[in-house]
């Protein structure tokens, strides 16, 4: 894969620069036409802030990839992965459309899930899916169950990334960390296609970060968080060298543990309580202040401390993901993942108290 290093470095730099410039343009346009996020009960930001920054991230991700296609080696790489590329482009287009529509007009949970599951179905149909699970040396082929689990995984990751986008730069920092872990894993697995996708995503997020760091000058919105979630979900179940994908709690899946676990805990808390089944199901998808970033801001009274704590946990999970794909360090990776989980639960369940 050394022959790809020069174009990959160029791709990263081009993605970062394109995203940075595109964000400035989108921000100015959003301010001009009044597309701003107004503060509210759940909104931590103090002033109206332009949204739709996700469009700039997507442009920073996609435009440099088109330029890279002019490189003979890159074109050869694309030709070997046309099915994966088509799945990502088709599923991503649906999610971008959904995100833009939701950011501009707004939509309900039913319509969101319908489009998200359709995008997930496209990914699964073109090979992004769990095919077997290995238990004590025995291989169990999942068949249709694997496809269903994969669809729920993709939709779950998209929404987890959407839910964690509740504080200036938080989703950006978490996503960059996970994408970098996926880059390292792709190198270890000699998975050139995934490496290209994650390099482009990392660069686009880095270019967006200066505009999104506290106090944020623009938000990524659902357009950005859902698209990023789709790419990370696809990257977590991509098949290196067209080998079957195993359902293993390790590898890339571990890198996504923080947003996924936080979302599962919040959904469980919303569902629990005395009420009719319909009311409890409705509560699951009703926004509140139960997420880890809300808890840490309330406890420490500082956005910076909350972001740093969440980033450290993400780094631990990302490191565990990388370590588990190497046989010699697999159990060290699981240990790092267990430590990250303990820290996450410790911070979530400490008694809440506001620092004045």
- Predicted confidence at residue 241, as pLDDT, reads 53
- Predicted confidence at residue 250, as pLDDT, reads 63
Q: Where are the domains of the chain?
A: 24-349
- Predicted confidence at residue 303, as pLDDT, reads 87
Digitized pLDDT (tens) for each residue of the chain, 356 residues in all: 556 677 788 889 999 999 999 999 999 998 888 778 766 555 555 567 888 899 999 999 999 888 776 767 666 666 667 778 888 889 999 999 998 888 888 888 888 999 999 999 999 998 888 877 765 556 777 788 888 999 999 999 999 999 998 888 999 999 999 999 999 998 888 888 888 899 999 999 999 999 999 888 999 989 999 999 999 999 888 765 555 555 555 678 889 999 999 999 988 888 887 777 777 777 777 777 888 888 898 888 888 899 999 999 999 999 999 998 888 898 999 999 999 999 999 998 876 554 44
**Would the CA dihedral through 253, 240, 192, 97 be positive or negative?**
negative
**How far, in Å, CA of 37 to CA of 6, rounded?**
40
Residue with tokens 């805990």: 265
The phi and psi torsions of 164 (rounded to 5 degrees) equal -80, -10
- Predicted confidence at residue 355, as pLDDT, reads 44
- Predicted confidence at residue 143, as pLDDT, reads 81
- Predicted confidence at residue 301, as pLDDT, reads 81
Joined together, the tokens standing for residue 180 give 């970098």
Q: What separation, in Å, do the N-terminal and C-terminal C-alpha atoms of the chain show?
A: 53
Contact 280, 333 (CB under 8 A): no
**How far, in Å, CA of 72 to CA of 67, rounded?**
11
pTM > 0.85: yes
Question: What DSSP letter does each residue of 4-20 carry, written as one string?
Answer: GHHHHHHHHHHHHHHHH
Contact 171, 227 (CB under 8 A): no
**How far, in Å, CA of 4 to CA of 6, rounded?**
6
Helices (H) then strands (E): counts for the chain: 15, 4
- C-alpha count within 13 angstroms, C-beta hemisphere, residue 58: 26
Question: What DSSP letter does each residue of 182-199 carry, written as one string?
Answer: HHHHHHHTT-HHHHHHHH
- Predicted confidence at residue 356, as pLDDT, reads 43
Q: Alpha carbon of 227 to those of 55, 111, 174, 222, 309: distances in Å?
A: 10, 16, 14, 8, 25
């Amino acid at each position: 894969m050394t022959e790809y290093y020069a174009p990959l470095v160029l791709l990263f730099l081009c993605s970062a620069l394109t995203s940075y410039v595109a964000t400035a343009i989108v921000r100015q346009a959003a301010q001009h036409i009044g597309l701003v996020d107004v503060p509210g009960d759940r909104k931590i930001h103090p002033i109206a802030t332009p949204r739709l920054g996700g469009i700039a991230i997507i442009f920073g991700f996609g435009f440099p990839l088109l330029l890279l296609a002019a490189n003979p080696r890159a074109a050869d790489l694309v030709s070997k992965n046309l099915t994966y590329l088509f799945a990502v482009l088709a599923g991503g287009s649906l999610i971008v459309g959904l995100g833009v529509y939701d950011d501009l007009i707004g939509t309900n949970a039913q319509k969101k899930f319908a489009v998200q599951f359709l995008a997930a179905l496209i990914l699964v149909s073109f090979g992004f899916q769990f095919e077997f699970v290995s238990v004590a040396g025995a291989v169990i082929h999942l068949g249709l169950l694997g496809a269903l689990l994969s669809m729920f995984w993709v939709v779950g990751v998209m929404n987890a990334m959407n839910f964690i986008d509740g504080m200036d730069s938080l989703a950006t920092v978490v996503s960059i960390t996970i994408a970098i872990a996926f880059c390292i894993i792709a190198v270890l697995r000699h998975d050139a296609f995934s490496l290209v996708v994650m390099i482009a995503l990392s660069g686009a997020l880095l270019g967006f970060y200066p505009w999104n760091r506290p106090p944020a000058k623009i938000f990524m919105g659902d357009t950005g968080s859902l698209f990023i979630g789709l790419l990370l979900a696809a990257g977590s179940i991509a098949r290196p060298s067209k080998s079957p994908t195993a359902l293993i709690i390790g590898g890339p899946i571990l890198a996504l543990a923080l947003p996924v676990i936080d979302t599962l805990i919040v959904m469980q808390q919303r569902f629990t309580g005395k009420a009719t089944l319909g009311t409890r199901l409705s509560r699951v998808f009703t926004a509140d202040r139960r997420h880890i970033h809300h808890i840490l801001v309330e406890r420490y009274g500082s956005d910076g401390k909350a972001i740093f704590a969440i980033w450290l946990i993400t780094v631990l999970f990302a490191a565990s993901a990388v370590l588990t794909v190497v046989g010699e360090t697999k159990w060290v990776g699981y240990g790092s993942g267990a430590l990250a989980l303990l820290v996450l639960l410790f911070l979530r369940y400490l008694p809440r108290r506001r620092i004045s």
